[in-house]
Amino acid sequence: MMPQLPGLSMLERWALGILVRSRRTGLVVVKPYGRGEMIVAADQTDPIAAYVTNGPDEPASMTLERIFHQPSYGEGE
């Protein structure tokens, strides 16, 4: 299961596999500590996840901050 994820243990790869397959998860971003690459899995039907993967070129920190400030499910603007 997911052998192409360097820097993650078998348990972490297993947990990531569960999150990616869940219908309740729209975006999963993993950056192993001490490594330069990030692993992104996104549901393209989720507008925020689609924006992260296909949106304008900007630093990842700005994109993650924008997601952080989005209202939660069921929460008003």
DSSP per residue, 5-58: -TT--HHHHHHHHHHHH-TT-SEEEE--TT-S--EEEE-TTSHHHHHHHHS---
pLDDT at 37: 76
Higher pLDDT, 21 or 76: 21
Per-residue model confidence as pLDDT tens digits over 5-43: 777 888 988 888 898 888 888 888 888 788 777 778 888
pTM: 0.58
Three-state DSSP at 75 gives coil
Per-residue model confidence as pLDDT tens digits over 36-73: 777 788 887 887 777 777 766 777 777 778 777 776 66
Three-state DSSP at 70 gives coil
pLDDT at 31: 80
